Each structure stands twice: as C-alpha cells, then as structure tokens.
Amino acid sequence: MSASITEDQVREALTQVPYPGFSRDIVSFGLVKSIAVDGSQIRVLIGLQTKDPEVPKQIFQQSKEVLHALPGARQVDVEFDIKDPVQAQAEVKSAIPGVKKIIAVASGKGGVGKSTVSVNLAVALQKAGYAVGLCDCDLYGPSVAHMFGSDESPNATADNEIIPIESDGLKLISMGFLLEDRSPVIVRGPIATRYTQQFLRQVVWGQLDYLVLDLPPGTGDIQLTIVQTVALTGAIIVTTPQEVALIDARKAAAMFEKVNVPVLGLVENMSYFLCPSDGEKYHIFGEGGGAQEALALGVPLLGQIPIDIPTRAGGDNGRPVALQDPATSEPSRIFQALAKAVSTYAPV
C-alpha cells in the first residue's frame, strides 16, 4: 500500500509551476491559497489578480500535470479565485492629478534597506519604459538626494508649486534637496504632516505611470498622513530574513490592512551573500524568512535582493545599481525582475 500524499508534497510539486512570463513559481509568489488532500484526491485553490485569461489557463494545465505525477494521485482539482488587478483604493477620494499608480514602499523598522529598494525599483520601472516619480517621505532621514548624487535645489512655479528635480529620467523630491549638508530636520508632528502633504499635493509631478513613495520606517504620523492624503494603489513591505525584522514587517502590513491599503507583496532584502570566490550563497541573516512571512500574510514574495558591494556602492556613489545593464549586472537584473513583478500586480 503506497504512503498517503501530504500537503508538503503537493506544495513542493507546485514549485515546478512558473507564473507565466516569470522564472519564479506560483508558490514563492504566494498564490497557492489552500491545499486539501483526502487519500488519492487533491484539491488546490490558487488566487490570481489578472485580466489575462491565458494566465489561469497555463497555470491550470501545468498544475494538473505536476500533481497527477505524484504517486497515488487519482483525482486532482485545481480551482481559482480570480480578481481584477489591484486598483487604487477610492481613487475618486484623493488622486494626484496625472499620476496613475501610487506605490508606497514601507518597512516596520529601519536598517532593512527600504530606500535602496525604493530607489532601484523606481529606476528599474523607468528603464522598463514607464514614467516614474520618486517621493522621499522620510523627512528625518532623507537619502534619495544622496543616492542620486544630486545637490540641486528645486524651483517653484508662479503658483508656489514645487518643481521636482529630474535625474536619470526620474522626477524626484526629497527633504535632502532642501537642506544643507548636516542640517537636521527638527519639526514636530503637525509640521511634518504639512511637509508630507506638500510633497504629495504641491509638487508638479506631471503625467506619471508610477509614483513611488519611500516611507519612513515604522507606523507613525507620516504614514497615516499619507494614507489619508492620497489614494494608494498598494504598499510593498521591505524586510530582511531575520525574525526581528519580520516581527516589524507584520506590524507594517497590519497597519495598511487597517487603513484599507492593499499590500502588493513583500521584498526580502539582504536575502543572501553570493560569494565571488566560490559562487556559493551564504544566508547571513537567515534563510526563508521572507517567503514564510509572505505565505503567512497571503501576499506574494515579490523579490529577494542579495547583499552585495555593487548595490551598496551604487547608493553611496549616487549611481543606483539598477542603472547598470542587467545583462552584465546581476543586482540590476534582480531589480528589473522586481519592477516587472510590481507592474504585474499593479498594472497601468
């Protein structure tokens, strides 16, 4: 008598099914919502956000193939929960004129590389052909100006609107453009709220496909001001694999859930170190934490960003690594893949 099929075997088999157009599988994307096994019968529920009928069709066919290949599998049912791609919540409430999608990049704690992800995501989206803006909403620790190597000061229109800085095809605004070096931002909550609203409402963004918001860490006044000021398309949570970062990532996800902002997915930064001498991956901060947390939250793992010298150097030198040719730069290729995942879950 053959051993019973387990849920783990079913999940492992489904890792052979790629999401159409991607090299990553439907399990790592967090699309497998439930698995039920009863003897030789297998039932799987897959959640999708797409309007393309070919996507569920391909996933259905490949899922059936890999599951029927399991020893002892006789009946396989693959069902779908298909929704339209995430749309800006309550767009009529508070849209920014000319901006199609507003993506908030957030983290529960500092030091996880949120600004690095924000900057390189914005660059990768621009290189993919989209019109992109980047708003540095971290008033107390602005880093966008430095990461683009710019010390320009923005001008204003006759109507006292701010004209964003343009660099590498992106429109940028940051408190770093308004301050002299070493000048701290010392403002109380109400003033910080006013600055945040000005960055979102009084900047001449023009026509944009995506406006990426680099949020400060945590779940404080600025985050709440943003969700009350503009209709966010969704949020991306940046974390590292270690549990201490994942705890705070859960808090950030819970905050967006409470204010009805969809979480588009998680990005695991500092996922591993690829040693140049032996080609081995070393999981310095632990392994699999981001994937497990994404599964627990029911959202996709949008990308796993390695810790490496080119990414660090690009941020320090004012030339984000995503500007490099993805054919010759592995970090750049990874950020291009992240941009493709984001544009899939929040298409313009």
- What residue has token string 């705070």? 248
pLDDT at residue 191 tops 60: yes
pLDDT for 172 equals: 95
pLDDT for 89 equals: 42
pLDDT at residue 22 tops 80: no
| Class of the domain covering 91-345 | alpha beta
Instruction: Give CA–CA dist 285/269, Å, rounded.
Output: 10
pLDDT for 80 equals: 93
pLDDT at residue 320 tops 60: yes
pLDDT: which is higher, 224 or 93: 224
Bridge partner list, 18:
25
**pLDDT average, residue stretch 94-121:** 90
Write down the domain spans for the chain: 7-83, 91-345
**pLDDT average, residue stretch 106-134:** 93
Instruction: Give CA–CA dist 346/103, Å, rounded.
Output: 9
Sign of CA dihedral 104, 110, 115, 117: negative
The answer to whether the CB of 320 falls within 8 A of the CB of 120 is yes
Instruction: Give CA–CA dist 104/346, Å, rounded.
Output: 12
Cα 101 to Cα 22, 104, 125, 130, 176: the distances in Å are 22, 10, 12, 11, 24
pLDDT band at 10 (very low <50, low <70, confident <90, very high): very high
The answer to whether the CB of 147 falls within 8 A of the CB of 311 is no
From the number of C-beta atoms within 10 Å of its C-beta (0-12, 13-18, 19+), residue 275 rates as exposed
Tokens of 218: 């945590």
Tokens of 323: 């500007």
Q: Angle, to 10 degrees, between the axis of helix 330-345 and the axis of helix 309-317?
A: 80
* pLDDT, tens digit (0-9, with 9 covering 90-100), for 140-151: 778 898 899 988
- Give this prediction's pTM: 0.76
pLDDT: which is higher, 187 or 73: 73
Q: Residue 284 contacts by C-beta under 8 Å, 6 or more apart in sequence?
A: 270, 272, 273, 307
pLDDT band at 91 (very low <50, low <70, confident <90, very high): very low
User: How many angstroms from the chain centroid is the CA of residue 239?
Assistant: 10
Residue type, 90: A
On average, the pLDDT of the chain sits at 86
- For the chain, give the percent of residues with pLDDT over 90: 48
Of 31, 113, 106, 120, which Cα lies nearest the Cα of 266?
Answer: 106
Grouping H, G, I as helix, E, B as strand and the rest as coil, residue 54 is helix
**pLDDT average, residue stretch 62-69:** 94
pLDDT: which is higher, 130 or 221: 130
pLDDT at residue 187 tops 60: no
Residue type, 214: D
pLDDT for 1 equals: 42
Least confident interval from 93-102, 160-169, 317-326: 93-102
pLDDT at residue 276 tops 90: no
Between β-strands 263-268 and 162-163, what pairing exists: parallel, antiparallel or unpaired? unpaired
DSSP conformation class of 177? G
pLDDT for 36 equals: 92
Q: Angle, to 10 degrees, between the axis of helix 7-14 and the axis of helix 54-68?
A: 130
Cα 205 to Cα 251, 277, 281: the distances in Å are 31, 45, 41
Listing DSSP states for 67-129 in one string gives HHTSTT--EEEEEEEEEPPP--TTHHHHPPTTEEEEEEEE-SSSSS-HHHHHHHHHHHHHHTT
Of 239, 16, 302, which Cα lies nearest the Cα of 110?
Answer: 239
Fold that domain 7-83 belongs to in CATH: GMP Synthetase; Chain A, domain 3 (3.30.300)
pLDDT at residue 13 tops 80: yes
pLDDT at residue 93 tops 50: no
pLDDT for 288 equals: 84
The answer to whether the CB of 136 falls within 8 A of the CB of 142 is yes
Least confident interval from 58-62, 237-241, 248-252: 248-252
- What residue has token string 């602005």? 142
Listing DSSP states for 258-297 in one string gives HTT--EEEEEE-S--EE-TTT--EE-TT-SSHHHHHHHHH
- What residue has token string 């150097």? 313
pLDDT for 86 equals: 55
pLDDT for 317 equals: 93
Grouping H, G, I as helix, E, B as strand and the rest as coil, residue 33 is strand
